[in-house]
Amino acid sequence: MIKKVSSLLLFLYAFICFAQISSADVEVVYISSIIKDSLNRSGVVESENILLYNSNESIYYNKDEKEYYHALNSGGSVATIPTSMGNIPRKPKSRGQVYKKDQAIYTTLPLGFYNYEFPEPTLVWELLPNKKKIKDFECQLAKTVTETGDTFFAWFAPEIISTEGPFRFKGLSGLILEVYNKNRTIEITAVEINKSSQEIEKIPYLKLLKIENKDRFLKIRNDFLENPSIYMGNMEVFDANGNDITRKRMERFKKENVFLD
């Protein structure tokens, strides 16, 4: 009897776990171009990001970051950087993910040693009369203003029936193929659209802190930009030749002032 009950419990657990796995219908590959220092437009950082979605769930992530955290969780090897506290993993340049379930959107972004997950407020879009073709799709322009007062524009394709888009930019009556901010320091462009059956799964972050709302995250980020050392501890960072580059890194944190909010 005990063996039968144990087998039944294992079967039910496996069934529940299987039921929770969601597969994508579509994969969209986006190229993000970000000028981190708005005073120096020559320093463009490009990254490739993936959007997987079906009718009620999606994940937007960087492939390198996903592989990085899977390696850490499985005991695999990753590149490191020397510090006064020993070698620490060298994290990918592009970090953060956006997970959507039904109408709820959750963003995870890094600050210092931690990753913060918080719910995103719903964006309000204004449809504009502008139209153009992107990858043979007739697209329409829309505009939104975020909670931080930043203006973003999005080109979406009504013939691709979906409310999806890159990062937190969702909620239009067609898949978003391009997004850019008013100053053109951020541009995200779709380069591939494919059928997919990949699993929609979150990145297995370490040191993940879930906070109640975005206002709390923005307060933490402002504090971090004012004084990065309070979230980095007394750690000193060295380059490959053993030179102390701690101050240079702190100054870089303050300069990288372009956000996807």
Structure tokens at 237: 């960072």
Sign of CA dihedral 155, 157, 163, 167: negative
Structure tokens at 67: 């592989």
Any idea which residue has 């120096």 for tokens?
A: 40
Angle 93-98-104 from CA coordinates, rounded to 5°? 165
Q: Read out DSSP for 40-81? A: -TT-EEEEEEEEEE-SSEEEEEEHHHHHHHHHHHTT----EE
pLDDT 10s digits, 213-254: 999 999 988 888 777 666 555 555 555 666 655 555 555 545
Q: Which residues of the chain have pLDDT under 50?
A: 1-6, 8-19, 253, 257
According to the model, what pLDDT value does residue 170 have? 98
Alpha carbon separation from 111 to 146, 188, 202, 214 (Å, rounded): 20, 22, 18, 14
How far apart (Å, rounded) are the C-alpha atoms in residues 223 and 217?
Answer: 10
Cβ burial of 98 (10 Å; 0-12, 13-18, 19+) is buried
Q: Are 186 and 260 in contact (CB under 8 A)?
A: yes
H helices of the chain, where?
A: 2-20, 63-73, 214-226, 229-232, 246-255
